[in-house]
Structure 1
Amino acid sequence: MQGQRNNLISSSSCVHVFCIFLALLVAGTGSEKVPAVIVFGDSSVDAGNNNFIPTVARSNFAPYGRDFKGGKPTGRFSNGRIPTDFISEAVGVKPYIPAYLDPKYNISDFATGVTFASAATGYDNATSEVLSVIPLWKQLDFYKDYQTKLKAHVGESKANQTISEALYMMSLGTNDFLENYYAIPGRSSEYTPRQYENFLAGIAESFIRKLHGLGARKISLGGLPPMGCLPLERTTNFVGGNECVPSYNAIALEFNNKLKKLTVKLNKELPGIRLVFSNPYFILLQIITKPAHYGFQSTSVACCATGMFEMGYACRRGDMFTCSDASKFVFWDSFHPTEKTNAIVANYVVKNVLAEFL
């Protein structure tokens, strides 16, 4: 029966809600061991913080969010929910994680989950400066502010319990390479690719140490996807016949290996920490290389507009060309997965990595 359930989850018949319920059955989740999900990162986990800062890195307009509850764009870079929404639901918290800067929400909403993430940011402060978004250090400042509000809202004792038992998710790094290192002059003249990987890993380590110092114990460090297979990179890979860019995928694998080693190191050095490495690389690559197995038809182009290079405002301008059924596409825009892909990746992470917290 266990094998049958696993097959059901990866089959093409598995749709969003059913995926979650099947994942709950397989992993035996739905407990109260995780009182809140707290998120740091980039557009992969931004639920709309960028809507409230002066930046062009936004998605609070159609066709984004057309498959979200109510059909309204929220600032999530997808047609619907993002991975942390699905993870929050799968661990028994709530189906959507709100953005910290969204005035529609307050500390009563944030007490069980909040995202400080900002689209187009990275580990490197220079990455966040490209499109004037929230750097990682500022996200940590927001978290400190959140702690103060949480203690005032529920009392210090309960707040400390939530802080220590919450699940902390980190998802960033892609922009550091694709929107910074390989896109503009600067870091590439200071560092070789391997040196830049080490530079970023050092920032990740410092951030986790600070987070641990503030009381966090259950932390998921997210890895890079096969970024050479993003539609934008494939579209511009003229020499390679519009296939995945091997060099970018190699960088992702190298950097992920360094992050994995970092988790081993910090688990030995930081008392009480339970740090895990959530790697989306192989599950996403499997979806891209075996799309029919998951019910997808298109992997090299996205749903939005022509599917080759559009994201953000370019998706709005090309709305008339946008696909009618996003569930057939692995990618929503040239950089971000569809809701269906997000659900599959989230279920994989819950069952294979986060299950130890449940």
Structure 2
Amino acid sequence: MQPIKFTLFPFTRFSLNVFLISLVFLGDHGGARITLPKNVSVPALIIFGDSIVDQGANNNLNTLIKANFAPYGRDFVSGKPTGRFTNNNTPADFMVKELGLKDLMPAYLDPSLDDNELLTGVSFASGGTGYDPETPKIASVLSFPDQLSQFKEYIKKVKGMVGEERTQYILANSIFLVVASSNDIANTYFTIGIQRLHYDVSSYADMMISSALNFIQDIYKLGARRIGVFSAPPLGCVPSQRTLAGGKTRECVVEYNQASQLYNSKLQTAMQYLGSTLEQSRVIYIDIYNPLLDIIVNPSKYGVEVVDKGCCGTGDIEVAVLCNKYSPTCDDDSKYLFWDSFHPTNKGYSILIDQVLGKYVNDFF
């Protein structure tokens, strides 16, 4: 199958002031291990995507989209900020631990990374990125082509460590996750709006999916076989989007949620198509829209009290550099679904990932 092509539109660099303003719009449990099917092996977890699974890749980039400062990481080991866009662990950390691989997922770009970590998985994700090629340009972060180049470099390193045959085994049996779309929809399309000049919501979703399809085919050609692709969340209910477009009462923004739903419907169909055409593959659409929305609509069911504000600052708008050591934070973040105005707390992620793992883990085999 030939990769799907799409046209790139000219890009104009934004000033530092626009970068600072746009930051507020970006998106973009160590218990028992999950039980895998009999005779199944998962040697590694390999992740691509945005700030939801950025483990510190942006720390040394020339970008404002960072989280390697307080109060990020407040509840992490020794209260250390690491570049994770939350107060403690990310979904990547939860999943790698539940798979029994290791306690924490490292960033591929971590300068202190031990080469042995490569064998059990790394994250190539970069906060602020997306499927739309314009999205990482706006944020000055790693694009999906950048992450793909790093993955190729990763494969060479692993081959140098364990040889060709073992490397191919690792690639074929590992779980690959792709997490993106939030920054594209919430920021590039709706808030900054540069792509609204060229697309309606439906055609913009098609462009994003075309990019996602190309990327998945690329990692498949490099050896990936078990691939999970996350849906868009209910972006209209994220605190920053409520503030920006939800009116005086900060209600969930219906238009944004409808855009997420339309994209998700198209993505699910595309993933089913890939799963049926890429030989010996498992390409899984992972719905996070409905589980996250259920927490928002029924917080008491999950032991959560605050779902419309983040713990950091006022909770309305602070994210990345706007959530900093001068920002007051809530006393008990376990009562909050969101840590900042865009990213969930450790508590929120733990609830969400418990549901995702329970529902989808067997679909990879």
State the one-letter code of the partner of 1:171.
V
Alignment deviations for residues 221-278 of structure 1 (CA, whole Å, 9 cap, x no partner): 1101111000001122353621100111111111111111011101111111101011
Q: Distance in 2 between matches of 1:349 and 1:174?
A: 18
Match among 109, 112, 130 for residue 122 of structure 1: 130
Secondary structure of 1:92's partner?
A: coil
Secondary structure of 2:154's partner?
A: helix
Q: Quick check: 1:302–1:331 contact (8 Å CA) kept in 2?
A: yes
Alignment deviations for residues 268-301 of structure 1 (CA, whole Å, 9 cap, x no partner): 1111110101111111011111111111110111
Q: Distance in 1 between matches of 2:97 and 2:38?
A: 8
What is the correspondence of 1:1-358 to structure 2 with a 5 Å cutoff? 16-17=29-30, 20-21=31-32, 24=34, 27=35, 33-239=41-247, 241-319=249-327, 321-357=328-364
Q: Quick check: 1:170–1:222 contact (8 Å CA) kept in 2?
A: yes
Q: Quick check: 2:73–2:80 contact (8 Å CA) kept in 1?
A: yes
Give me the CA root mean square deviation: 1.6
- Offset, 1:177: 1.2
**Identical-residue share of aligned pairs (%):** 38
Q: Quick check: 1:167–1:218 contact (8 Å CA) kept in 2?
A: yes
State the one-letter code of the partner of 2:321.
Y
Q: Quick check: 1:29–1:91 contact (8 Å CA) kept in 2?
A: no
State the one-letter code of the partner of 1:79.
N
- Offset, 1:28: 5.3
Q: Distance in 1 between matches of 2:96 and 2:49?
A: 16
Q: Quick check: 2:96–2:103 contact (8 Å CA) kept in 1?
A: yes
Secondary structure of 1:236's partner?
A: helix
Q: Distance in 2 between matches of 1:169 and 1:145?
A: 18
Q: Quick check: 1:98–1:110 contact (8 Å CA) kept in 2?
A: no
- Offset, 1:30: 10
Would the alpha carbon gap of residues 56 and 153 (structure 1) be closer, same or farther in structure 2, given more than 3 Å must change? same
Would the alpha carbon gap of residues 171 and 305 (structure 1) be closer, same or farther in structure 2, given more than 3 Å must change? same
Q: Distance in 1 between matches of 2:174 and 2:253?
A: 37
Q: Quick check: 1:34–1:357 contact (8 Å CA) kept in 2?
A: no
- Offset, 1:357: 3.4
Q: Quick check: 1:29–1:90 contact (8 Å CA) kept in 2?
A: no
Q: Distance in 1 between matches of 2:173 and 2:112?
A: 26
Question: What stretches of structure 1 of length at least 5 have no aligned partner?
Answer: 1-15
Q: Distance in 1 between matches of 2:257 and 2:75?
A: 30
Question: What stretches of structure 2 of length at least 5 have no aligned partner?
Answer: 1-28
Q: Distance in 1 between matches of 2:37 and 2:94?
A: 13
TM-score by length of 1: 0.91
TM-score by length of 2: 0.89
- Offset, 1:154: 1.3
Would the alpha carbon gap of residues 180 and 310 (structure 1) be closer, same or farther in structure 2, given more than 3 Å must change? same
